[in-house]
Amino acid sequence: MLVRTLCSGVSRGTETLVFRGLVPPDQYEAMRAPFQEGSFPGPVKYGYLSVGRVEQGPVDLRGRTVFCLYPHQTAYVVPASAVTVVPEDVPAARAVLAGTVETAVNALWDAAPLLGDRVAVVGAGMVGCCVARLLSSFPATQVTLVDVDAGRSDVAAALGVEFALPGDAAGDLDLVVHASATSAGLQRSLELLAPDRTVIDLSWYGDAEVRQSLGGAFHSRRLAIRASQVGTVSPARAGTRTAAERRALALELLRDPAFDALLTGQSGFRQLPDLMARLAAGRLRALCHTITYEESDLCSA
């Protein structure tokens, strides 16, 4: 099918690491985007949060708005199996978050939170915020979004969860999900855990060295760190869910307008090179920055 792009989203953490050439050589194959062109460290065509309208293809899909794991591009041809139909009541701009919400779904399948849990999500980026919003729907669960940027408190409020700076966060927690991609964030995550509990680590650190102090409470309190990664369906659901079903679930969850709090800026496609440089240099404090195309008026429809 031929898809004409309406808008795409910049996955800030991963895409800025790729932009800066920081993909470790031993992860070149693992970190390939589904429709990537070129090879790491570069040049590459990279990205995976695209929403467009089907112009040519199967009759039942023509004119439909779809999500695809495709790089930033004005139009593209892909197999029909590569797209997921966006629900009619999900705006195109919000739908670019499907890949990130899918990551959050997989993380919660890995984490298996229980009713009434006390939970912290450390790192209020795109992934952390999506995890926090999904956790907020668990009955009687106390969720705190933890970040070094006090300005993220407004986003936390919009997502219906508490906010705390790292030094102010309460401990003795049942579960901590780490998504800050920093050594300090992972260390604080361990410190917030109750004994015999686990940190679910969603961070991708690129080629950065991660240093932790494991000589104290980590051992005596029998703490654990477990990685969660969206490249495969969580073992907890691998026998009953496909990646396509997981992505469709993410788009259903995006009926929730609270996710609009993550859409913090918009630029035209031709501005993308300058935008990526600003994001990579930390000059733009965006969560999900969306890219608009010729039909940009439809991106927020």
* Structural domain contains residue 244: no
CA distances from 291 to 7, 202, 301 (A): 5, 25, 14
Dihedral angle of Cα 80, 81, 82, 83, to the nearest 10 degrees = 70
- Total domains in the chain come to 2
CATH number, domain of 53, equals 3.90.180.10
- What pTM did the predictor assign? 0.94
- Flag whether 104 is in a domain: yes
Q: Answer whether residue 235 is part of any domain.
A: no
Residue 301 scores a pLDDT above 50 = no
Quick one: pLDDT at residue 207? 83
Is 43 within the bounds of a domain? yes
Q: Which residues, other chains included, contact 197 with Cβ-Cβ below 8 Å and sequence gap of 6+?
A: 173, 174, 175, 176, 223, 224
Question: Is the domain of 104 the same as that of 219?
Answer: yes
Residues 14 and 88 in one domain: yes
Decide if 166 is inside a domain: yes
**Which CATH number is 121's domain given?**
3.40.50.720
Are residues 155 and 199 part of one domain? yes
Mean predicted lDDT score pLDDT of the chain: 95
Report the distance separating Cα 203 and Cα 214, nearest Å.
19
State whether 52 and 115 are in the same domain.
no
Give the domain extent around 84.
2-97+254-298
Residue 70 sits in the same domain as residue 146: no
Residue 182 burial (CB count, 10 A): 16
Amino acid letter, residue 10: V
Quick check: is 234 in a domain? no
Answer yes or no: is pLDDT of 197 > 80.
Answer: yes
C-alpha pair distances (Å), 271 with each of 30, 200, 281, 282, 291: 29, 36, 16, 17, 9
What proportion of the chain, given as a percentage, has pLDDT over 90?
A: 90
**Angle, CA 300 vertex, CA 151 and CA 267 arms, to 5°:** 65
Q: What's the confidence (pLDDT) of residue 285?
A: 82
Same domain for 133 and 75: no
The DSSP call for residue 138 is S
Q: Give pLDDT tens digits for 217-273.
A: 899 999 999 999 999 999 999 999 999 999 999 999 999 999 999 999 999 999 999
pLDDT digits (tens, 9 = 90+) for 278-291: 999 989 888 999 99
User: Does 36 share its domain with 139?
Assistant: no
Q: Is residue 236 part of a domain?
A: no
Whether 283 is covered by a domain: the verdict is yes
